[in-house]
Amino acid sequence: MDRLRVGVIFGGRSGEHEVSLVSARSVMGAMDPEKYEIVPIGITKEGRWIASGDPMEALVAGDESLSRPAVLLGDPAHRGLMRLEEGGGRAVLSLLAELDVVFPVLHGPYGEDGTVQGLLDLAGIPYVGAGVTGSALAMDKAIFKDVMRARGLPVVGYLLVMRKEWEANPEGVMDRVEGALGYPVFTKPANLGSSVGVSKCHGREGLAQGLAEAARYDRKLLVEAAVPRAREIEVSVLGNDDPIASVPGEIIPSREFYSYAAKYLDEGEEASRLLIPAPLPPETAERVRDLAVRAYTAIDCAGMARADFLLSGETGALYVNELNTIPGFTPISMYPKLWEATGIPYPELIDRLIELALERHADRARNETSYRPEEG
């Protein structure tokens, strides 16, 4: 049987660039070489696509000479990666590799937000994960919460602040936050993940610092009410039109909240702990799994996502927090660990994700692209 040629895309123009590299290494390491021919595709922090040679090492070392420039054309007639040769004032494209399917391992903007997914749709290439709609809705945390609230799913109190508004009238913005939410609150960029730019604010001075930090990364700033004695519960979701949910897990953060440092920097006894399965009453665990699937289908997600929840240790109230359409695949990441605990080992999970990508692409191919009105 011929091997599938899988393009694994990593890096990207995002504050989560480095996390993407770790996830991509893990994904490629779990792929069965007898089933898949891996085509590594790197995207630099400046947005340049590179392939052939060693794009992973090129991104880690910051040395593009270790790889070659490449482009992906939005043209189904050239369903593959093109090598870009420059010289003599001209740029020439030649086929580098035809691709059967793409596995985007891109976290954050310009990768997890529907942009790369749209390019792959134009090129007619199957890909792992959500399409343009689901990716975009999940990436924008403010719009995601709007959709959850409209669907009747529980979310914490929140306010959206535009960067221009914050810069023009900081005192007025803080007055509005204090009046609507009080303290403590969390501030975060609306379109980023891995807790980049997230702050917990206990007073007005901290709120000013938190909004300024979030404004470094996005024009949309989200302020959320803190949940009393919050427990962080996560569920992995897998599937297209009939998704299934894993057993829930719980994160015991090494710091006041699950910050970037708590996720990726703290090690040994100081590292955050993952409890799998989460110590929850059966009825709570089942409700979390049900809400995860409902949130997933509400934004037309596909392939995979990790659903994050906040559970109040005081009231028992449960809130949908976020949906990550390209969850972390690092050695410590919850998404694959939860499926392992549910009975799907990592290599089998990779196989299933690629199968789902091909199934979804085949289903989309059934759609007619021309219309001929019936003659009466």
Q: pLDDT (tens digit, 9 = 90+) per residue, 182-234?
A: 999 999 999 876 577 899 999 999 999 999 999 999 999 999 999 999 999 99
Where residue 96 sits, what CATH number does that domain have? 3.40.50.20
**Residue 244: which domain range?**
138-154+228-363
> Is 241 contained in some domain?
yes
Distant-in-sequence, close-in-space partners of 8: CB < 8 Å, separation ≥ 6: 24, 27, 28, 38, 39, 40, 41, 102, 103, 105
Q: What is the 3-state secondary structure (H, E, C) of 210-229?
A: HHHHHHCCCCEEEEEECCCC
Domain final position from 210, 225, 240: 225
Instruction: Check which CATH number belongs to the domain holding 355 and give it.
Output: 3.30.470.20
347-371: average pLDDT: 94
Residues 282, 179 within the same domain:
no
Buried b (16+ CB within 10 A) or exposed e, 128-167: bbbbbebbbbbbbbbbbbebbeeeebebbebbbbebeebe
Same domain, 110 and 173: no
Q: Which residue do the tokens 């529907």 mark?
A: 114
The answer to the question of residue 370 being in a domain is: no
- Provide the CA 112 distance to its chain's centre, in angstroms: 5
- Rounded distance, CA 230 to CA 41, Å? 39
Specify the pTM. Answer: 0.91
Copy the structure tokens of residue 233: 């519960």
* Domain assignment of residue 188, yes or no: yes
pLDDT band with cut points at 50, 70 and 90 for residue 82: confident
For residue 195, being part of any structural domain is answered with yes
Residue 285 and residue 278 in contact, taking contact as beta carbons nearer than 8 Å? yes
How many domains does the chain contain in total?
Answer: 3
Q: Of 170, 199, 225, at which residue does a domain stop?
A: 225
The verdict on 318 and 329 lying in the same domain is yes
Is 93 inside a domain boundary?
Answer: yes
Closest CA to 233 of 192, 189, 277: 277
Q: Please, are residues 305 and 138 in contact by the beta-carbon 8 Å criterion?
A: yes
Please indicate, yes or no, if residue 275 is contained in any of the structural domains. yes
Which structure tokens are listed for 145? Answer: 């919460």
Q: Confirm whether 347 is domain-assigned.
A: yes
Tens of pLDDT, residue by residue over 170-181, are 999 999 999 999
